[in-house]
């Protein structure tokens, strides 16, 4: 009887392992989620940017990332979209906040605030930055995609990750960042704000469902 029980236990363990492996194989890869993001978003047409260099990829340590430029017209400023996905937060491998990364690459923050982008399901908070490097300026909008929600605050995103790690045993998350160049005058700054908000409204419906 003991031998039969042992055999049954071995079979059950093997079956459980096979099911888990099948589930992992069937689950969409994070890069598949990113590749599914349309190149065409309303009036916006996208194209992939050049891949990051090896050193940048090593420092960022993302499991998957998307780097594109979207344009709505030849006369409007382009929007740079960067999405970095991390399957697990752990020491040395976690989301890099633009608050820390951009100054490290020479971009000086001139303004840091939180704004809200109006969408079909209500207002979505986004972190807003105006940055400068030499004579160049840019508007930066970003948020963290965490299990079906978008979070603007670094502290709040960490609290959600801790809570979901305990409750769901998940710590995967993604950074979603937009960059719009700003000219030297006030009119171009207003145009950049309008471009960033308009593109984000088009993008919003795709973000919560990507990593729910």
What CATH number should be reported for the domain holding residue 198?
3.40.1000
Is the domain of 130 the same as that of 172? yes
Residues of the chain with pLDDT under 70: 1-32, 92-93, 208-212
In a domain, residue 211? The reply is no
Grouping H, G, I as helix, E, B as strand and the rest as coil, residue 110 is strand
pLDDT score of 100: 87
Domain that holds residue 80: 37-206
Tokens 């099948």 -> residue:
22
Query: What residues have CB less than 8 Å from 136, skipping those under 6 apart?
Result: 181
Is the domain of 78 the same as that of 15? no
pLDDT score of 30: 56
Q: What is the pTM of this model?
A: 0.81
Instruction: Kindly state the tokens that stand for 90.
Output: 């752990």
Is the domain of 23 the same as that of 78? no
Burial of 186 (0-12, 13-18, 19+ CB in 10 A): exposed
Grouping H, G, I as helix, E, B as strand and the rest as coil, residue 102 is helix
In a domain, residue 212? The reply is no
- Smallest Cα–Cα separation from 80: which of 70, 90, 95? 70
pLDDT score of 15: 37
Is the domain of 178 the same as that of 118? yes
pLDDT score of 127: 96
pLDDT tens-place string over residues 166-191: 998 888 889 999 999 998 888 889 99
Q: Calculate the alpha carbon distances from 66 to 11, 51, 59, 148, 176 in Å.
A: 42, 9, 16, 18, 9
């Amino acid at each position: 009887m003991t031998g039969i029980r042992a055999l049954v236990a071995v079979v059950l363990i093997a079956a459980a392992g096979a099911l888990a492996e099948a589930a992992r194989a069937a689950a969409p890869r994070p890069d598949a989620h990113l590749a599914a993001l349309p190149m065409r978003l309303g009036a916006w047409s996208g194209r992939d940017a050049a891949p990051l260099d090896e050193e940048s990829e090593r420092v960022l340590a993302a499991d998957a990332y998307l780097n594109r430029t979207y344009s709505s017209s030849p006369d409007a400023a382009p929007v740079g979209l960067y999405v970095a996905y991390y399957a697990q937060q752990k020491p040395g491998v976690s989301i890099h906040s633009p608050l820390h990364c951009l100054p490290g690459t020479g971009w000086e923050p001139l303004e840091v605030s939180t704004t809200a982008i109006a969408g079909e399901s209500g207002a979505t908070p986004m972190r807003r930055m105006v940055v400068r490097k030499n004579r160049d300026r840019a508007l930066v909008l970003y948020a963290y995609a965490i299990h079906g929600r978008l979070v603007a605050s670094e502290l709040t995103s960490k609290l959600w990750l801790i809570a979901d790690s305990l409750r769901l045993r998940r710590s995967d998350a993604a950074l979603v960042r937009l960059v719009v160049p700003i000219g030297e005058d006030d009119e171009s700054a207003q145009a950049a704000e309008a471009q960033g908000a308009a593109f984000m409204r088009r993008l919003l419906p795709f973000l919560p469902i990507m990593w729910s």
